[in-house]
Structure 1
Amino acid sequence: MDDMPATASEPSLNAADAARIQEIVERPQKKKRVPGRGVVLRAALATAVMLWAAFTPLDWGWLAWISLVPLLSIARIPDRLGWTYRLLYLSGFIYWLITLQWMRYGDPSMYIALAAMAFYLAFLWPIFVWLNRTCLHRFRIPLFVFAPILWTGLEYLRSFLFTGFSWYYLGHTQHNWVDLIQISDLVGSYGISFLIVLSNAVITECLPLRWIRRGLGIQSNTATDESSSLNEKLLIQTSGGDRPLLHRLGMIGLSVGLVIGAMIYGQIRRGSEAFPVGPRVSLVQGNFVASLKSDRDQWGEIFQVHYHLTGLSVRFQPDLIVWPEGMFRYPVYETQKGLSNEQLDEILEKEFPEIGLTSDYWNSGDSQQRLSSIADMTDAGLIVGASVFAAEKDKVDVYNSAIFAAPQTGIQGRYHKIHRVPFGEYIPLREQLPLIQSLTPFRGDFGIQAGTNLEVFQYKDWRLLPVICFEDTVPHLVRQLVHQAQERDSAPVDVLVNLTNDGWFHGSSELDQHLITAKFRTIETRTPMVRAVNTGISAVIDGDGVVREPDDFIDLDAKREERDPTKSMKNPETGRYHRQRNLALIADVPLDPRESFYVKYGDWFAAGCLVAVFATFFLSFIIRPSQVASE
Structure 2
Amino acid sequence: MFTAHQKHKLWLRLFACIGLGLIWAFAFPKWNMVGFAWLTPACLIVIGAGTQGKSVFGWAYLASWTHAATSLYWLLNMPHFTGALAGWFSLSAYVALFPALWTAICWHLIYQFKGTAHNGAPTDTLQWLRSRTLFEAQRLSILGAVLWVGMEWIVSNLFTGFPWLLLGASQLPYAPLAQTAALGGVPMISFIVVWTSLATGIGIARTKLRTPGPWTWLPDTILPVGVTIALCIYGYQRIQSIEDSRPKETFKVALIQPAFPQTLIWNSLEDQSRFEDLLGLSKAALQLDVDLLVWPEGAFPGNIQSFKPMKDLLNQHQAWFCFNGTDVDFETLNSDHPTTFNAAFFMNPSGQLRDTYHKRHLVMFGEYVPLHQWFPILKILTPIQHLFTAGKQAEAFHLPEQDIRLFPLICFEDVMPHLSHQATHEIDCLLNLTNDGWFKESAAQFQHAGLAAFRSIETGLPMIRCGNNGLTCWVDPAGRINTPGSHLGSEDIYSKGFRIMDIPKGWKVPLTLYQNIGRYFSLTCFLISCILILAKTKKKTESPGTSNVINLE
Common fold: TM-score over 0.5: yes
Aligned to 2:329: 390
Give the alignment of 1:128-527 within 5 angstroms: 128-133=102-107, 134-138=109-113, 142=137, 143-208=140-205, 244=210, 248-272=217-241, 273-276=244-247, 277-291=249-263, 294-330=266-302, 367=307, 372-393=311-332, 394=335, 396-408=338-350, 410-441=352-383, 446-460=386-400, 461-479=403-421, 481-482=422-423, 486=424, 491-527=425-461
Give the structure-1-normalised TM-score.
0.74
The alignment partner of 1:496 has SS state of strand
**Shift in alpha-carbon separation, 1:500–1:372, aligned structure 2, 3 A:** same
Q: Separation in 2 of the partners of 1:625 and 1:379?
A: 73
**Which of 41, 51, 55 is the equivalent residue of 2:24?**
51
Distance 2:200 2:331 in 1: 61
Instruction: Tell me, in whole angstroms, the C-alpha distance in 2 between the residues paired with 1:53 and 1:584.
Output: 30
Structure 1: stretches of 5+ with no match in the other structure? 1-32, 210-240, 333-360, 558-565, 572-577
Deviation at 1:375, TM superposition (A): 2.8
**Cα separation, 1, equivalents of 2:54 and 2:392:** 50
What is the RMSD computed on CA atoms of the aligned residues? 2.9
Deviation at 1:244, TM superposition (A): 4.9
How far apart in 1 are the matches of 2:447 and 2:426? 28
Letter in 1 for 2:279: Y
d(CA) in 2 for partners of 1:266, 1:58 = 23
Structure 1 residue aligned with 2:537, among 596, 616, 621? 621
| 2-structure distance, mates of 1:315, 1:524 | 35
Q: 1:129 to 1:82 in 2, by over 3 A?
A: closer
* Cα shift at 1:255: 1.5
Aligned to 1:601: 517
Q: How far apart are 1:44 and its partner, in Å?
A: 2.5
Cα distance between partner residues in 2 of 1:116 and 1:258: 37
CA contact (8 A) 1:37 1:81 kept: no
Using the alignment, how far apart are the partners of 1:436 and 1:586 within structure 2?
A: 42
TM-score when scaled to structure 2?
0.84
**Deviation of residue 433 (structure 1)?**
4.2
Rg (Cα) greater in structure: 1
Q: Out of 537-546 and 189-198, give the one that drifted further.
A: 189-198
Q: What residue in structure 1 maps to residue 528 of structure 2?
A: 612
Which residue is equivalent to 2:37? Answer: 64
Say whether the 8 Å CA contact 1:372–1:405 is kept in structure 2: no
Q: Which runs of 5+ in 2 are unaligned?
A: 1-5, 115-131, 547-553
**Helix, strand or coil for the counterpart of 2:159?**
helix
Query: Given residue 67 of structure 2, which amino acid in structure 1 is its aligned partner?
Result: Y
Q: Which residue of 2 aligns with 1:94?
A: 66
Residue type of the partner of 2:158? L
Cα distance in 1 between the residues matched to 2:310 and 2:285: 16
Q: In structure 2, do the counterparts of structure 1 residues 264 and 271 end up closer, same or farther at CA, with 3 Å as the change threshold?
A: same
Q: Displacement of 1:584 after TM fit?
A: 1.2
Q: Offset of 1:539 from its aligned partner?
A: 0.2
Letter in 2 for 1:579: I
Aligned length: 503
- Give the residue type in structure 2 aligned to 1:390: D
CA distance in 2, matches of 1:201, 1:35: 28
What SS does the aligned partner of 2:395 have? coil
CA gap 1:243/1:55 in 2 versus in 1, 3 angstroms: farther
Inter-CA distance 468–321: structure 2 relative to 1 (3 Å threshold): same
Give the drift of 1:81.
7.0
2:69 and 2:179 map into 1 onto residues whose CA distance is: 31
| Partner secondary structure for residue 317 of structure 1 | coil
SS of the aligned residue for 1:384 comes to strand
